[in-house]
Amino acid sequence: MLLSSDLWVSALIRRAELGGAFATVVRRGDERAGTVVVKAFDTRNRRARLYTEAFGPDGDRLWIQPVVSELESELDAYIQRQIAYDSDLWVVEIEDRDGRHFITETVADQT
């Protein structure tokens, strides 16, 4: 059974804070089943990466980078397009000097 979105987001923020990062909910979506987008910002190198939920070919949940760019403006444009498409979307931003995302589930390699 999957966790509700609000509980999962709370756990992510807690992991980030315990790791010495700053994390915040930029946009709150549906508490139970809203899709989550995580923007990880590397404060040392001034680069950002975006992660979103997906399902692999085997049906397991995994996280992918839907936009292969480190430009924050391109990532923000993607987020705005997704919000227009999905009003239940959660957006979490994490600022970390090492650019960590703190996602514990499977994260697909960038191709």
Report pLDDT digits (tens) over 45-96. Answer: 999 999 998 888 888 879 999 998 878 899 999 999 999 999 999 999 999 9
Q: Is the pTM value of this prediction over 0.85? A: yes
3-state secondary structure 6-29: HHHHHHHHHHHHHCCCEEEEEECC
- Distance of alpha carbon 65 from alpha carbon 111, whole angstroms: 9
Which CATH fold would you assign to the domain 5-96? hypothetical protein tt1805 (3.40.1530)
Percent over 90 (pLDDT), the chain: 74
Domain residue limits, the chain: 5-96
